[in-house]
Amino acid sequence: MNQRWRIVALWLLPIGVVLLIGWQVISNGGLNSMNAGGGTGTTEAPRNAAVARMSYGRFLDYVEAGRVTAVDIYDGGRNAVIEAVDPDLDNRVQRLRVDLPGLAPELVNTLKQEGISFDIHPPRTAPPALGLLGNLLFPLLLIGSLIFLARRNSGMPGGPGQAMQFGKSKARFMMEAETGVMFDDVAGVTEAKQELQEVVTFLKQPERFTSVGAQIPRGLLLVGPPGTGKTLLAKAIAGEAGVPFFSLSGSEFVEMFVGVGASRVRDLFKKAKENSPCLIFIDEIDAVGRQRGAGIGGGNDEREQTLNQLLTEMDGFEGNSGIIIIAATNRPDVLDSALMRPGRFDRQVTVDAPDIKGRLAILDVHCRNKKLDGELSLESIARRTPGFTGADLANLMNEAAILTARRRKDSIGLGEIDDAVDRIIAGMEGRPLTDGRSKRLIAYHEVGHALIGTLVKDHDPVQKVTLIPRGQAQGLTWFSPDEEQTLVTRAQLKARIMGALGGRAAEDVVFGHEEVTTGAGGDIQMVASLARQMVTRYGMSDLGPIALEGGGQEVFLGRDLMSRSDISESISQQIDEQVRGMVKRCYEETVAVVAANREAMDRLVELLIEKETMDGDEFAAIVAEFTSVPDKDRTVVTLE
């Protein structure tokens, strides 16, 4: 508080001095009269003394007529205040202001000849001290502003008021990390937790490991898709270990000025050595740890210098005993190989999307503070959400809670969970379609998808069919696998291709080849992608088990962009032929299934238009009335 008052005083001091001197000049520096010719002087300023104006010509007429009794000249002869007798006002004396062309000798001689008393008042001049302060006012204000900014940011490392702190580390430091997250709050990543709990045990009980010659890992790299809990695991480690904790992002090292990033790395490790043993967490390390020399025409020197300094500090000439670095990334493929070697990041901990047991444990954590309906089962939610990460499940339960509050219910039910899942996957619910040809066409399209998904053995079962628009889709068909699918068979891939082509096949069978619509655009793109992967990546074609293309990852500039293809033109042509042949055969099989079950499809369309939404069990029961639904032991269609 005292510091703030000193800053305010520093600002107000020069301004107060200037105002004080100005007030003294105005109050005491009145117009001193000089009586030249025996007249009476005046002490008022001409702008305030005159009550009326008089032209210069009329003034000369008054002088010749002898009506002027006194003249006070100001501003070097530009203004004058006269006292004149006005015969129209019973010869009363009045004060008038006159604008003069200048202090001419003729005017002075005329006034002397007529015997008129006049005074010439010199122009007012400001004191020298006031002029000096006026010239110094702006520099004083500028210097005061700079001092104010410097003092205000004195407590912020690297703030704009500390030019010498620009190369200092921006890492957040906590002597005892109070993240509020413990290992009990992290679920669904059991294997990763076991790896990281060893690090916490090593920090708390190092003699348990050193007694058998074990050394503490220098670095742990958390690798996994976004939202799987990498940062949450780092918070749990900080909360459990009870040692000093530094946290920052990889992008905080990189600046536009060369050498700043390396300086921040040195400063970070210097502080870490002073507080050893400690933890350093670097989130999104791929921002600074990308491969060196991968840019066309030369790499980013600043980023590469930062990475070189980081490599040296992690495992260089000087050891960093007691410092454990934890980093997180979802792009390990772009990291520099020197950063990934043992001695720098000794362990790579994979944090994948959870399975059904992991999702159940995550839901149990996120439902601690939520009111659930008594009939709602967390296991049913876990089965409903394959592929969801921990962040997705947290968002799901939050959306369900929002829907519950919006509908003025006391607890979250299955309806809110289903609507929340649909909103997260497909988008916000739109306005229902009006009855007409467009709605009927969309109904046939969606029933075509669901019919193939029901009749083909290896396809995932239908969960729901709806005509209610969501996002960009006018209608949706949901499929839900019965179990976690880590490996997918050839029959399952072909069944997915047929299911995606079911909508187009229904349009073709019912409305004719010339009436098919653009609604199958997204389906056809997925079909092309699946068929090409079966040929080029999985070896599921007549070309044999040969990988003919890469893994389908994004091109890394400088490493992959200029790489040549190892596939000849003839092989490329054969790939295209295999893809077209596979898709053609699947489409012909799909059209045959749809045409053979036209009666069931018409009935399903009428019910769907009436109800707008049907669940999978109801859909399968109606299909069973017209044809036999395949079980796990047989198929209805031949996929070859």
In three-state form (DSSP H/G/I as H, E/B as E, the rest C), the secondary structure along 64-111 is: HCCCEEEEEEEHHHCEEEEEEEEHHHCCEEEEEEEECCCCCHHHHHHH
CA torsion, ordered 380, 420, 521, 441, to nearest 10 deg:
90
Q: Considering the entire predicted model, what is its pTM?
A: 0.66
Q: In Å, what is the CA distance from 252 to each residue of 155, 219, 306?
A: 19, 19, 11
For residue 610, which of 418, 432, 359 has the smallest C-alpha distance?
432
The CATH class, in words, for 356-426 is mainly alpha
Q: Is 446 noted as a catalytic residue in this protein? A: yes
pLDDT-derived band at 527, boundaries 50, 70, 90: very high
pLDDT at 30 over 50: no
The whole-number pLDDT of residue 483 equals: 65
The whole-number pLDDT of residue 451 equals: 92
Tracing tokens 């012909």 back to the chain, one arrives at: 588
User: Cα separation of 138 and 142, whole Å?
Assistant: 6
255-275: average pLDDT: 81
Q: Average pLDDT over the chain, rounded to whole?
A: 78
More confident residue, 55 or 151: 55
CA angle in degrees (0–180, nearest 5) for 391-397-402: 125
Q: Which of 37-46, 87-96, 230-239, 271-280 has the lowest mean pLDDT?
A: 37-46
The whole-number pLDDT of residue 321 equals: 72
pLDDT at 45 over 50: no
Tell me the pLDDT tens digit for each residue of 483-508.
667 788 899 999 999 999 999 999 99
Contacts 24+ apart (CB under 8 A), 603-607: 604/447, 604/450, 604/451, 605/440, 605/443, 605/444, 605/447
Q: Are strands 323-329 and 278-283 parallel, antiparallel or unpaired?
A: parallel
Q: In Å, what is the CA distance from 305 to each residue of 219, 293, 302, 333, 573?
A: 20, 12, 5, 20, 46
The two structure tokens encoding residue 573: 């042509």
In the chain, the percentage of residues whose pLDDT exceeds 90 is 15
The whole-number pLDDT of residue 592 equals: 93
CATH of 172-350, one of 3.30.365.10, 3.40.190.10, 3.50.50.60, 3.40.50.300: 3.40.50.300
pLDDT-derived band at 261, boundaries 50, 70, 90: confident
User: Cα separation of 399 and 404, whole Å?
Assistant: 9
The catalytically annotated residue of 284, 304, 446, 589 is 446
For residue 590, which of 451, 407, 401, 418 has the smallest C-alpha distance?
451
- Helices 301-314 and 260-274, axial angle in degrees (round to 10): 20
Helix (H/G/I), strand (E/B), else coil: 615: strand
The two structure tokens encoding residue 616: 């999978």
User: Cα separation of 516 and 442, whole Å?
Assistant: 11
Residues 266/313, Cβ–Cβ less than 8 Å: yes
More confident residue, 527 or 175: 527
The whole-number pLDDT of residue 469 equals: 84
Contacts 24+ apart (CB under 8 A), 202-208: 203/241, 203/242, 203/243, 203/277, 203/279, 203/324, 204/241, 204/242
Question: For the domain bounded by 437-553+565-626, which CATH number is listed?
Answer: 1.20.58.760
Number of other CB atoms surrounding residue 620 within 10 Å: 17
pLDDT at 409 over 80: yes
Q: Are strands 613-615 and 323-329 parallel, antiparallel or unpaired?
A: unpaired
pLDDT winner (highest mean) among 243-257, 340-354, 579-593: 579-593
The whole-number pLDDT of residue 460 equals: 87
Domain parsing of the chain, residue ranges: 2-27+127-152, 30-120, 172-350, 356-426, 437-553+565-626
Contacts 24+ apart (CB under 8 A), 431-440: 431/469, 432/467, 432/468, 432/469, 432/612, 433/467, 433/469, 433/474, 435/609, 439/467, 439/609, 440/605, 440/609
79-96: average pLDDT: 78
pLDDT at 26 over 60: no
pLDDT at 28 over 50: no
User: Cα separation of 606 and 536, whole Å?
Assistant: 42
pLDDT at 109 over 90: no
CATH of 30-120, one of 3.40.50.300, 3.40.720.10, 3.30.300.30, 3.30.720.210: 3.30.720.210
pLDDT-derived band at 157, boundaries 50, 70, 90: very low
The whole-number pLDDT of residue 38 equals: 37
pLDDT-derived band at 588, boundaries 50, 70, 90: very high
